[in-house]
Structure formats: C-alpha cells, structure tokens
Structure 1
C-alpha cells in the first residue's frame, strides 16, 4: 500500500495538519494510535460522518490502531454551532444515542488482530470528575484569549445570541479527551473534520503543556457539491445511516443521483476503489455519462458499506422492478414501501376502476387520456399491461395488501395505496 498520507492526499482528504513531516515520520515508524470522536447529538450518524469513519478504516488498514470515541460526556454539552445554542437532551436520551452510534461505528473497524480498534466513551473519565478538579487540573492550561479567537466562538460572540459558558467550555473537554487517550493508550493523533481544527489544537496544546509530548492533528475538508452547497442533504433533510430514518432504498437513490461533476470526487472519498478503478470510472463519465456507471458504482459501494450486500441487492431489484425489469410481487413490504415513497399517489381499493386510479394519481389528465393510454398499450398495473378500460383493481393487485404500482409508458410512475 502507498504511504497512507499520500493516499489521503490523493483522495482529497487532507485539509490541515499540525506538522505533516513529523506526522509522516511517525506513521512510517508506526504503529500510531489515533482517534476520532463522534458526539451523540442525534440518534444516528449521517453521511457526513462517513468521511471520518472511512478515514479511520484507511489508516487502520495501513497498520495503525484506532480509538473510536463516542462522546457520552461531550454529547451532553454539544459542540457549538455557527448560529444558535444546541438544545440539551436528557442524560437517558444521550445514553441511548451513545449505544445506537456505537453500533453504527463498529462495522467500519476491525476489533481483532495486531491493530485492533477500541471503542471508548469520554463519560468514563469525566463522569466522576468534580468541577474543582476540572478547573484546577485542566482549565488552568487554557488561555481565554486563545479560546475566544477560535472561529466558531468568535462568530457566536458576534451574534445576537452570543455563546453560553457551557458551549464555550466544549473545546476544553475535547482537549482533555485527547490527553486522556494519550495517557491511557498512547494516542498521539486526532482526526476530524476541518471545522474541528480549533478543538483538535486544544488537545495538542494540552498534551504539549502537561506531558511534554508533540501530538498530531489531521483534518479533512468538509465535503461539498461542485456548486458549493452542503453535501449530505436530501429534500427530506439529512441522509442518516440508520435505516429506520433513511431507508436503504432512499440511501441508494441519494448516491445514484450524484451529479457528474461530483461523482469522481465522491468515489475517492466514500469508497475503497483503487486509483485504476476510479480512473476507468472517470473515463466512463466523460465518454458515456448517460450510462451513469460511476453513480451506480458509488451507490452500490456506499450502500453495501452501510447496510450490507443484502440490502443493496434488494434495492437494485426494487429499482429494476419499478420499471418492468423484475417482479414487484417478490419485493418485501418495507423495500416496496420505500421504493414508492416519493411517487405521485392516490388512494384506492379493490374494485376501483384502473382508469380512475390513473386519473387520481395524476399519471393522466382525464379519463379520456387514461382510456387512450390503455388502447395504445401503454398502461400498466404492477408491470402487467392493462387491456380493458373497464378493468378494476383486483385484491391481488394490492401488493402486501396496500400498493398497486401504476405506470404509463416506460418511465412515468405512480402508486395507488389502499385506504
């Protein structure tokens, strides 16, 4: 394998480092123990967190030891946002989110072998710490002038809302985490997003002042679209890793809809495809953009990473079946429901005229247009051609007792949903 820093650079995953030459030396001498933190400020991670999860995996594959920190303590506080104060959650809620997020992180890392990963929770070393100990042993090493110069803090101070002492103290807590992981496990590298640079430096400085050791920080750029807008949002909001919040079908479609201008960059960031493989896909984008080969590879790879091969296979089968290249009746209820979730819809029941369902769903403008589509052989229910304008929805047409997929022509879809 190439030097892991070279690999990260090629993939566009290096924004800032404290001392790249020293870090490169440390990685070459290795193994280096490193960490990235994930705060439970919601019940699930989202696609933006994949950058650090995959970075951690890449560095582990290069022969280094990862610590995945889930912030049971920092999650009770919340990293300052650019505009407004976070709403605090109860201790029980945060504890539940910690366990959910741990379960999402674990599949990305290897917890066996010489470079075995370890899960840690910063509540373990902060939960019993008194305020006096915190101020004496940690707070005294931080200078207020430096803390208020951090970009996010400065922006909040200039805002009408300002910043509470609670969120202002977040960088001290994160700095303490780095030192604690150094003393417990010999951790000398923290990784994170570029918006965390100030917090990462807080830990580097605390280790230098109290332990006399030069630790390292490495950040990745925040991933945006080619037009500069934030990556990771769909029309329904955040794209979550939890399949209950974002179905595998919707997750797959999110990646499949990646623009040509973004897809090669996303393949570098979000997959383990090699340089040669990505070069071939880049050529396919240039020569055969209509085939969307790169997008299909991206969607398949990331969906498999997050949800497993079985979920990816089910999603692809559903996508094909919607357009007549598979059996809709073979899809399980959850996959079918997710596949039709964004389609135009109408309510219907067994015995209703198919003509009325086509009109009600908006597939056609009138009953006359529906009859014409039937006469021309271009109307389908569950991929079966409608042959009579008097045809009704049979009980068996309502898949899983609920859905009848309507299609006009090759690509225009809607769904009739049982009342």
Structure 2
C-alpha cells in the first residue's frame, strides 16, 4: 500500500469531515510516494538523553515510510537546540552545550534504532550543527534572509502564541524558522530529500522551508504534519502523574512502560493500536470493537506490541507475565520492584510515604501523602488511613511487605 494511504488509514494524518486529508502542503506527494522511493525527514530535539512516548508518532511515521521502501532521515537538531524552537512552547528553552547535545544524540540514535534500520544507509541520522555552526551570519542574511517576510513570520501560529504571552519571544528564538527552513534546503540539495514531516506545530516552519527551496533552488518540497495526540481524557500523550514516559529503559522500566499501555483508557485502545503497533488494520479494527471486559484482551495486545517494539520481545514477555500475575492476584509470584531494608529499620518503623517514594510508586514523598489522603495507597491490600502511617515488622508476610499505589501498581519491601 502507498505509504501516504498507510499513514492516513492508521490515523497519523487527520482528515476533514469529508475525508480530505488535513495539513498536507500538496496532495501530489501521494502520487510521488506511489511511483518512486524518496528520502524524507523528521527533526528530533536533542534536549534530553531520551525521547519519550510523545515522540512515538514521528518515530512510527519514519518506520512506516521505511517499510514502504522510502529512506528516512532522522535530523537531530544539534544546531537549533542551541537556539531553541519556540513551537508549542510557552517559554524559552534552556540552552544546551555542545557536549550535552552530543551525549543526548547518542541516546536518541540508540532508541531510534529499535524502530528504524540504519545499516547500509537504509536510514541516516544527521546533525544540523554540521552545516549551521559554520554559517557566516552576514552571508546567511544576505543570501537567505532576503527571502523571508517578517509579516509572514509573525503570522505563524507558533510565533503568535508566544507573542501573546507575557514573556514574549526572544530574537534568538525568532531566528528558528530561518534555521529550520535552511535545514530543509540543505537536505534537498545534499540528500535529495523532498519531504519534511512533523507535528502540527511545525506547519509554519515546514512551509517556510518549502518556500525557501522554491526561491533558491527552483525545486518543490512537500510537507505533512500530524496532530498532537491526546488521550480520551484530554491529557497530552505520554504524560502521567510521574511525568514523561521515557523510551529509555533506565528512565522508565519495561514493566512501567508495559503498564502505561496496559492502563490505557478503553476509548483510546483502537487509536493506539493503529498508531503505535504494526498490527494489520483488520486486526486493529477487530480488537477495537471489543467491549466491556473483553477490551482487556485488546489492552494486553497493545501493551505487549508497544513494549516489544521499544524494549524487545523478551522484555515484553517478562513484563506481561509480571502484570498478569498481579492482575490475577498472584502478587508474591510476580517479579515486581522490591526494596531491601534492615530488620532494625522496620522495628523502628518506616514512613509509608518514604517507602512509596523510594520504590518509585510515587514521584515524591508529598505525592505519596496525597495518594494516602485520597485512599489510593495500601499495605498488604489494606488501605493506609493516615499520611504519617509507619510500616513495621508487624506487616511482614513470609518475609515481605506488599505496597500498592492505585489499582494495579505494586512493589514490595523485603527484609535483608
């Protein structure tokens, strides 16, 4: 199937009420993707050592493009990260050093390699610092600044939103649109890359690049953007009470990653299966029709497939077995997070809030106290009533103490 149609069918490309695709600069790109193999790119922000679930749409898009015979280019914004992209942001980003960016890039490529095949140049990763850092500012303004209209730049949604905020928009950030447009120009000249993709907040930057390409190279570039994915509750995709759901296993364990997907809202399951797995759409549609308790089977499949893609099949199997034991009531047999403590500590008593924090059941002690106050914390499946409740040796059962946060998040304390 045409890569464009795959992205449309699976829900990456939004449509109007009549089915017309939104946020596509020129529908000719569909015919081009049908007739020949092209190079396409998406930019990734190297501001952390890991990407998170919020980046999965872009990652999966590149993976689908590669599966359809096209060549993905993952552009890591080592140069633009030193400036900061104002798109989708309410305030200026923290500046990064070249050393920070290099370290972060290594982590990003490792994660992207789980989804995209980089061997034999089937896909490439590029760093825009390689061509942005040597730029002579005066020459850049003379050769490329002349093609940008301030009025058009001010009309860009990302710029307008920031100008409405009290902190405004720095001149440093205002340059970002020029730099990203130059990225697209560089890639079409040096890598024959004719398609840039990204989130909806990148629409203005992508269009600026297409315009620059037309003016400088007399060539045609294309753009496709994808809507921000939110959950049925309206929350931003990948955000939880503990923060971002990272792809790095050291920041978010395969078990926690699996549970994130396993706990998806019933209303999101079909959408997530289409976006975040490679299951055939007939299977996605079949699972999406399940109702009531049967939807749990679809959630199990979603969690397993998503975890397998990011952490590998063995890690997915282990996580699934652990979670299924928990759901079946076999907490003792489940391989859940544990903390060893001295028996003397338990004799004195340890605050439950402190243990919940140490076991990563909550992001902070204060959050643990709030969880206890709301009645969402338990010890050995008995609700904890007071925020200053202490765990002692009296709670030991066969040498262990079982703690639970919410409905299905468990950890245990073990005596050394």
* TM-score normalized with structure 2 length: 0.80
RMSD value, Cα: 3.2
Cα pair 2:10 2:281 within 8 Å, conserved: no
Conservation of the 8 A alpha-carbon contact between 1:197 and 1:219: yes
Verify: 1:97 aligned to 2:142, yes or no: no
Report the counterpart of residue 298 of structure 1 in structure 2.
302
**Residue 297 (structure 1) shift:** 0.9
Superposed displacement of residue 156, structure 1: 1.2
Choose from 302, 305, 309 the match for 2:313: 309
Aligned residues: 370
Map 1:7-406; keep pairs closer than 5 Å.
Answer: 7-14=6-13, 15-20=22-27, 22-80=28-86, 81-112=88-119, 116-284=122-290, 286=291, 288-290=292-294, 292-322=296-326, 328=332, 331=335, 341-342=360-361, 363=382, 393=396, 397=399, 404-405=401-402
What CA distance in whole angstroms lies between the structure 2 residues aligned with 1:7 and 1:19?
Answer: 17
Q: CA deviation at 1:329?
A: 6.5
Unaligned runs of 5+ in 1: 344-357, 367-389, 399-403
Q: Would the aligned equivalents of 1:36 and 1:68 in 2 still touch at CA under 8 Å?
A: yes
C-alpha separation between the residues in 1 aligned to 2:111 and 2:122?
A: 17
- Summarize the Cα distance change of 1:145–1:418 in structure 2 as closer, same or farther, 3 Å threshold: farther
Structure 2 gaps of 5+ residues are 14-21, 341-355, 363-376, 386-392
- Structure 1 runs of 4+ off > 6 angstroms? 324-327, 332-340, 358-362, 410-414
Q: Secondary structure at the match of 2:382?
A: coil
- Render the CA deviation track for 1:140-183: whole Å, top value 9, x for unaligned: 22111111110111121122111001111111111111110111
Write the distance in 2 (CA, Å) between the matches of 1:64 and 1:321.
42
Q: SS at 1:223's partner residue?
A: coil
Contact 1:250–1:338 under 8 Å retained in 2: no
Shift of 1:104: 1.3
Tell me how far apart the structure 2 counterparts of residues 254 and 397 of structure 1 sit (CA, whole Å).
29
- Is the 8 Å Cα contact of residues 363 and 412 (structure 1) preserved in structure 2? no
Higher gyration radius (CA): 1
Q: 1:411 to 1:140 in 2, by over 3 A?
A: closer
Secondary structure of 1:405's counterpart equals strand
Task: Evaluate the alpha carbon distance shift between residue 177 and residue 161 of structure 1 in structure 2; reply closer, same or farther with a 3 A threshold.
Answer: same
CA deviation string 1:204-234 (max 9, x = no partner): 1111110001110011111112233322111
Deviation at 1:139, TM superposition (A): 1.9
Q: Tell me how far 1:94 sits from its aligned partner.
A: 1.9
> Which whole-Å CA distance do the structure 2 matches of 1:342 and 1:290 have between them?
28
Q: Distance in 1 between matches of 2:39 and 2:409?
A: 53
Alpha-carbon distance in 2 for matches of 1:10, 1:48:
20
Please tell me whether the aligned partners of residues 66 and 116 of structure 1 are also in contact (alpha carbons under 8 angstroms).
yes
Question: CA separation of 1:323/1:187 partners in 2, compared to 1, >3 Å: closer, same or farther?
Answer: closer
Matched-pair contact (CA < 8 Å) for 2:269–2:299: yes
Q: CA deviation at 1:275?
A: 1.6
Alpha-carbon distance in structure 2 between the residues aligned to 1:44 and 1:413:
25
**CA–CA distance in 2 between the matches of 1:44 and 1:335?**
26
Contact 1:174 1:199 in 2 (8 A): yes
